[in-house]
Amino acid sequence: MAKPFQFKSFTVHQDRCAMKIGTDGVLLGAWATLDHRPFSILDIGAGTGVVALMLAQRSMAEVIDAIEIDDAAYEQCVDNFEGSPWGDRLFCYHAALQEFAEEIDDTYDLIVSNPPFYTEDYKTDNTQRDLARFSDAMPFHHLTQSVGKLLSETGKFVVIIPYKDEKDCLDHAAAEGLFANRILRVRGHETADLKRSLIAFSFEKTTVVEEELVIETSRHAYTEDYKKLTKDFYLKM
């Protein structure tokens, strides 16, 4: 059974979630833009709720909503929210994204997503994990269309995706009038291929600030940049 993940200020239980806590969610929660001081935040595809919990720790946002379609992950997310120091600001909806986007009249100042994105052609024997991993559970155009409806005029949308899907994501976002403002490209170690892209979008066209992050110098030896980004969360940083 997956053990609870202990962060500095909160604990995340993950035994009922197909997708366990990984570097992607932590990167997103630590890097997402908060300079515009969002009043309301939405986490799309919340899983354990870790990204929303990190944003609750980092921000003064009064409304932090999450949506999760998987039954077991939804229940786990609710429990993790209720067990956290910010339970009064966190709420999880059990819904599909498109249905949620059609029914909700509110907009959000910050939307984040660590979407299910396995575009490879194989599936495993674990259906729950496949649903969490495969992009047919949430294609980019569904994500960007819904964000186009749910994001406030001055809001930011931040996503983490495979580096190889970066252009595809930028194209789908542009179709909704969303422009990349910041991009952080991530590689595991200095000689590794680029693996992930974190992109911050808004409805405002700006010069794109592009940066790169290397996670490790060797196994479990983290770079200063990665430590600086995650130090408020990981116990060992």
Tens of pLDDT along the chain (237 residues)? 678 999 999 999 999 887 778 899 999 999 999 999 999 999 999 999 999 999 999 999 999 999 999 999 999 999 999 999 999 999 999 999 999 999 999 999 999 999 876 445 445 666 666 655 544 556 788 899 999 999 999 999 999 999 999 999 999 999 999 999 999 999 999 999 999 999 999 999 999 999 999 999 998 899 999 999 999 999 887
Strands (E), the chain: 5-6, 11-12, 40-44, 63-68, 90-94, 108-113, 151-162, 179-189, 194-202, 209-218, 221-222
In the β-sheet with 151-162, what is the strand arrangement from edge to edge?
90-94, 63-68, 40-44, 108-113, 151-162, 194-202, 179-189, 209-218, 221-222
65-74 per-position pLDDT tens digit: 999 999 999 9
Task: Report the C-alpha gap between 39 and 21 in whole angstroms.
Answer: 26
CB 94 within 8 A of CB 124: no
Whether the Cβ atoms of residue 17 and residue 73 lie closer than 8 Å to each other: yes
Whole-structure pTM value: 0.91
128's CB contacts (< 8 A; 6+ apart) are 18, 70, 72
Tell me how far apart the alpha carbons of residues 229 and 212 are, in angstroms, rounded to a whole number. Answer: 13
- Which amino acid is present at 209? V
Phi, psi of 201 (to 5 degrees): -110, 160
- Report CA torsion sign: 138, 134, 72, 46: negative
What was the pLDDT predicted at 139?
75
Q: What is the pLDDT of residues 148-189, one digit of tens each?
A: 999 999 999 999 999 999 999 999 999 999 999 999 999 999
